[in-house]
Amino acid sequence: MRRLLKWGSIVLLLVIVIGGAALAVRLNSFSQAVSGKGLMTSELGRRAGNQDRFNLLIMGYGGKGHDGAYLTDSMLVYSIPLNGGDATQLSIPRDLWVQSPAGSGRYMKINAAFATAYARTGSERKAADSASRTVSQALGVPINGWMLVDFAGFRDLVNALGGVDVDVQRSFSAKYPANDDPSKNYHWIHIHFKKGVQHMNGEEAIRYARARYSTNPLEGSDFARAARQQRLVSAIKAKLLSPAGWVRVPAVINAVQPHVKTDLSASDLMRIFRHRADDQHQYVLSNQNVLVDAQSSDGQYILVPRNGNWALVRSYVRSALDGSLTAQR
């Protein structure tokens, strides 16, 4: 019996080692596919330079089959302190009126910065670099890396995780497009979310993240949608870092690889997302803090700095990211 237990332990150890090696190979392949960098490449410190934070710009877009396929309606700065501590999430409203490219004298909504650069260059990577520079210039903080995720990737990620648990802050109903491509089905459906912790699959999660036309005024704005997206990011990260999430890592890799692009290695992304980001470190730039509603010369609804003061916006952003913000969130 003792010999049997000994050999059983050896076999188990071999299975763990071989399984770990296989996973490392798969992670390296994933890292090369989404970023062109090897798994163990690390650039966080070098890119941050003498700054003690690393700011990752996450851009979500519809992709093929959507109206405005390359408009990044979801833009989030995920900022981590390199010396340890909690991460901060800062959402950028899609209607923020900015100069893009920086210094060009041409203005547009910030969600069009990536799409415009992509139309000009034909390269998603060059477009992401350009959009990152636009965001950095507008917010007055360095953008050290970027990640692109299309809606299909977001949906498939949640499904590969077996769903996620999201704390819905308030009950609400909303109209939602029956199909991402209105040429196939232009009708609307009605969706509803109940207050409290809800388990969501991929389709439910993306509807929760994107819902705009709500019967609840508190949930009908783009600012409320940004806050919901932050809660979803936190829920996804919590599931990924749980034992149940680790078991599903191979399925997650297969699900998201076709839908994600980044300029960072997989190990750097894992280092970034292991930082906790709770409700006390989540902010949304909005007309409730440093922005005001306005109209462009061609009649578009836009958001601009209060009193035209970009210094106020940049001060707010820096204070939010470094944890010293005491003003209204």
Least confident segment among 106-115, 127-136, 182-191: 182-191
* Residues with Cβ within 8 Å of residue 285, at least 6 apart in sequence: 90, 91, 92, 93, 96, 291, 313, 316, 317
What is the chain's percent helix, strand, coil content, to nearest 5? 45, 20, 30
- Mean per-residue pLDDT, 86-111: 91
Predicted confidence at residue 277, as pLDDT, reads 72
Predicted confidence at residue 16, as pLDDT, reads 38
Treating both helix axes as pointing N-terminal to C-terminal, what angle do 2-35 and 249-256 enclose, rounded to 10 degrees?
A: 20
Report which listed range, 44-48, 214-218, 236-240, 299-303, is most confident.
299-303
pLDDT at residue 141 tops 50 = yes
Helix, coil or strand: residue 80: strand
Say which residue, 125 or 63, is predicted with more confidence: 125
pLDDT at residue 45 tops 50 = yes
Report which listed range, 108-117, 207-216, 314-323, is most confident.
108-117
Q: Which among 58, 90, 98, 93 is positioned nearest to 73, based on CA atoms?
A: 93
Report which listed range, 61-75, 103-117, 269-283, is most confident.
103-117
Say which residue, 240 or 14, is predicted with more confidence: 240
pLDDT, tens digit, 9 for 90 and up, residues 173-207? 988 876 666 666 567 789 899 999 999 999 999 99
Boundaries of every domain in the chain: 1-41, 42-161+222-329
pLDDT at residue 92 tops 70 = yes
Right CATH number for 42-161+222-329 from 3.40.640.10, 3.40.1010.10, 3.40.50.12780, 3.40.630.190? 3.40.630.190
First to last CA, the chain: 64
Least confident segment among 5-19, 68-82, 199-213: 5-19
pLDDT at residue 82 tops 50 = yes
Q: Helices H, strands E: what count in the chain?
A: 11, 15
Total residue length of the chain = 329
For residue 260, the surrounding DSSP H or E stretch is strand 260-262
DSSP notation for 153-177: HHHHHHHHTT-EEEEESS-EEEEEE
Share the mean pLDDT of the chain: 86
| pTM confidence score | 0.87
Report which listed range, 25-34, 60-69, 162-171, 210-219, is most confident.
162-171
pLDDT bracket for residue 219 (50, 70, 90): confident
